[in-house]
Amino acid sequence: GAVVSQHPSRVICKSGTSVKIECRSLDFQATTMFWYRQFPKQSLMLMATSNEGSKATYEQGVEKDKFLINHASLTLSTLTVTSAHPEDSSFYICSAKPSERVYEQYFGPGTRLTVT
Amino acid sequence: GENVEQHPSTLSVQEGDSAVIKCTYSDSASNYFPWYKQELGKGPQLIIDIRSNVGEKKDQRIAVTLNKTAKHFSLHITETQPEDSAVYFCAAHSGSARQLTFGSGTQLTVLP
């Protein structure tokens, strides 16, 4: 149980284009999902907290207009990187908190974004 | 806000030996402490967690201990195997912050 999927696992896009990453909780409902960014050999950096049916809460320094988050259902959250630039290249990971749990988070497998 | 420090940053052990990774936290209100294992190119996997009302929890070869007074918790892996090689992250959850704060990670290498 507690499986989270992400799609795509890898994506290469040209500078200036937009990329959408999907995060799905496969066997549980998740009122809250989180989006993280991870640089090589570093820890996870929280970008935003996504709550179903409401606007996402972004961490300080994260551009909300560049990283659009939508959490339209209890099993799906999407992250769209708009007007991507090479510096947006990174490993993006989502996590989901089961609605009935207070603390536990389960992570997806991650998406490797490369902007050329 | 919460601050989590993790040591060591790298750890090499011989297969069959034990490995211990330690974390300290700053927010006395934190009450949930998970450990995640991350293999190269993959997302973190929850391997064990502990709540603040428990001092120790064990699951086969993995155990976690919590000292609330000293505000530190540790991951213990016994009888290590090469497949235990990965990056391990500790985290702390403060109810007020409603999110996890992660340590910096420990690269564990189990030498055959």
What pLDDT does residue A103 have?
Answer: 87
Size of interface A-B (CB pairs under 8 A): 48
Q: What is the pLDDT of residues A98-112, one digit of tens each?
A: 988 888 999 999 999
Edge-to-edge strand ranges of the sheet holding A19-25: A4-7, A19-25, A76-81, A67-73
Q: Which of B54, B93, B99 has the highest number of chain A CBs within 10 A, making it the mutation to test binding with A?
A: B99
What pLDDT does residue A52 have?
Answer: 87
A107 contact residues in B (CB cutoff 8 A): 36, 43-46
The first and second tokens of residue B1, run together, are 């806000």
What pLDDT does residue B94 have?
Answer: 79
- Residue of B43, B93, B95 lying closest to A107 (CB–CB): B43
- Residue of B41, B99, B103 lying closest to A46 (CB–CB): B99
What pLDDT does residue B76 have?
Answer: 98
Q: What is the pLDDT of residues B19-51, one digit of tens each?
A: 999 999 999 989 999 999 999 999 999 999 999
Residue B107 neighbours by CB under 8 Å, 6+ apart? B9, B10, B11, B86, B87
Place of tokens 């409603």: B98
A44 contact residues in B (CB cutoff 8 A): 44, 89, 102
Answer whether residue B1 shows pLDDT above 90. no
Residue A22's SS3 state is: strand
Contact with chain A for residue B97, Cβ under 8 A: no
Contact with chain A for residue B45, Cβ under 8 A: yes
Residue A81 neighbours by CB under 8 Å, 6+ apart? A18, A19, A21, A66, A67, A88, A113
* Cα three-residue angle B100-B104-B107, rounded to 5 degrees: 125
The Cα-based distances of A37 to A32, A88, A90 in angstroms read 17, 10, 7
| Nearest-angstrom CA–CA distance, A41 and A46 | 16
Q: What is the pLDDT of residues A6-56, one digit of tens each?
A: 999 999 999 999 999 999 999 999 989 999 999 999 999 999 999 888 889
Contact with chain B for residue A60, Cβ under 8 A: no
| % chain B with pLDDT above 70 | 97
Minimum Cα–Cα distance from B32: chain A residue: A103
Q: Closest approach of chain B CAs to the CA of A49, in angstroms?
A: 9
Q: What is the pLDDT of residues A59-97, one digit of tens each?
A: 999 999 999 999 989 999 999 999 999 999 999 999 999
The Cα-based distances of B10 to A7, A111, B107 in angstroms read 31, 25, 5
The first and second tokens of residue B63, run together, are 């155990």
Among A81, A100, A113, which residue's Cα sits nearest to residue A30?
A100
What pLDDT does residue B54 have?
Answer: 84
3-state secondary structure chain B: CCCEEEECCEEEEECCCCEEEEEEECCCCEEEEEEEEECCCCCCEEEEEEECCCCEEEECCEEEEEECCCCEEEEEECCCCHHHCEEEEEEEEECCCCEEEECCCEEEEEEC
| Nearest-angstrom CA–CA distance, B43 and A4 | 10
Query: Are the beta carbons of B102 and A105 separated by less than 8 Å?
Result: no
Q: What is the mean pLDDT of residues B98-106?
A: 92
- Residue of B42, B100, B103 lying closest to A109 (CB–CB): B42
Answer whether residue B98 shows pLDDT above 80. no
Answer whether residue B64 shows pLDDT above 80. yes
